[in-house]
Amino acid sequence: MRLTLLGTGTSMGVPQIGCGCAVCHSHDPHDQRTRTSALVEVHGATLLIDTPPELRLQALRSNVRAIDAVLYTHEHADHVHGIDDLRSFTLRRGTALPLYGPPSTIEHLRTSFRYIFDASVVPMDGTSKPQLTLHPLVANVPTTIAGVAVLPIGFEHGPLAVFGYRIGALAYITDVKRVGTEALALLHGVRVLVLNALWWRSHPTHLSIDEAIATARAIGAERTLLTHLTHETGHAELQAQLPPGIEPGYDGLTVEIPG
């Protein structure tokens, strides 16, 4: 299995518009963080997690030529508003691309992007729209997507339902504040964990870095990659402050996961 972190930044990305801080003006490419998304390649299938606004740029940078399904974590703009970039993939496929996620997210996509999902909206000759199908998942119930066993795990993100995903030895969890007892049991035995860690101070709907460290230790993965990072922490500085086995992710990072 191969994991690629396509984007590792928070909702405003890094650099942040109009900011004069050192991280936003850093020359370290690890500090250039587009909005959060990932690619999982396993058993001949390619699964995309979320469609952020920079999806086109992320796909070009990582040479993503085809995907078999999209897994959505939740409906916030930084995780869904690149949905039209799926048009390139569906044109190349010649068939509709399935999208999966929490029921509330699936309904949000249906109503917010009517031009895609309303069959009465027909592209004019010479134009196109993404060909997509919507599939709600049930939290904590295993399913098979593109021939791959996927476990959607339910979490809270403020008032929203958000899904993390376990795929074999990999778990991908973003935009959560707490990982409870039931989720910990479902995550037992993961080898690589991707986990959101906003900044050092507290936040009402996201794990802080300290909270992410404690959560990573509770889960016990061999390697934890932090994502959804802000301009308050530069890559090199954060890497030096983290304990062994936990590291900041960065855009374009690729990890091979045995099993």
What is the DSSP secondary-structure string of 206-229?
S--HHHHHHHHHHHT-SEEEEESB
Cα distance between residue 55 and residue 8, in whole Å: 12
pTM metric for this prediction: 0.97
Q: What are phi and psi of 68, to 5 degrees?
A: -105, -20
Q: Which of 164, 2, 160 is nearest to 71 (CA)?
A: 164
Cα distance between residue 246 and residue 239, in whole Å: 8
pLDDT tens per residue across span 69-88 = 999 999 999 999 999 999 99
Q: Looking at the chain, how many residues does it have?
A: 259
Structure tokens of 67? 């995907």
Provide the CATH number for the domain around residue 229. Answer: 3.60.15.10
Domains identified in the chain, total number: 1
**Which residue type occupies 162?**
V
Task: Tell me the residue range of the domain where 63 lies.
Answer: 2-256
**Which residue type occupies 222?**
E
pLDDT tens per residue across span 196-249 = 999 999 999 999 999 999 999 999 999 999 999 999 999 999 999 999 999 999
What's the Cα-to-Cα distance from 65 to each of 3, 8, 41, rounded to whole Å? 15, 20, 12
pLDDT tens per residue across span 30-50 = 999 999 999 999 999 999 999
Q: Which residue has the higher pLDDT, 193 or 160?
A: 193
Binning pLDDT at 50, 70 and 90, where does residue 259 land?
low
Check whether 164 has a pLDDT greater than 90: yes
